[in-house]
Structure 1
């Protein structure tokens, strides 16, 4: 977990595109909101790793928000119940339940359906908020942190200098910060 947090902080301070970090933040929120243990969560998890996202940001966001997701269950249940009880959608849900793999997504669970609906609704606002946060951090907060006495003192420690130098050489060799 510490390695993922370090990668997140590195990405925030590097030349990574804010959109990649913001998309990872939004996708991490989606994974946190959707209950685990079903095919829907697994498919989304794999799909998000195939997209150009900052994986560490997504994993840290998921890990931090997953314990809090149960607080949204009453809203998710009501939303899912509303969708699943629509008479006009009943033929679709009956047909979906007879398909070979789709029932493993637990789409007929009110909390899963509600979380899917809310994930679709919230993804774009979370993405836009993430972009604003990354840009705001880089323009306002990062320079202040870099100039703080604590950081400057920390950077003077010989071991920290060696680790920083090694990380910089490694990232240059692998093109980690390449845009």
Structure 2
């Protein structure tokens, strides 16, 4: 099984097979519009515009599980992304990335790349460790803008925790895309 075996809900109420992206490298990101990390949309969009022609797809999945920082409807989220950051990569329907209603895609991603903040420090790590201590040391998504890099074969390559910026991922993307 790989990422391309999943289907996801689109923001307009439809469904899309991730098999439609077979042969492309993917950067899958849980996003939010009212988060301190929301400006990462700008970096994600820059990567998409620069690398889409080389085979990169960025897939955004809104999630409201982190202090309700994505409260809008799917239509409102689409409008925000377009108006605020001129996002052209796909933003899908809002999902859960943790808990009993975890979207199957995210259950798979978490299993394939459990990730962890590790022995880091910094504002976000300290905040999550204090506010949600049960998440540290688990495969759960820790916060908005967790990113998963998926190879052209649909296999998960790496997980990047929220503080890692799109610009910091660029070298890995260049290596993957050739």
TM-score, with length taken from structure 2: 0.29
Indicate the structure with greater strand content.
Answer: 2
Indicate the structure with greater helix content.
Answer: 1
Higher-Rg member (1/2) = 1
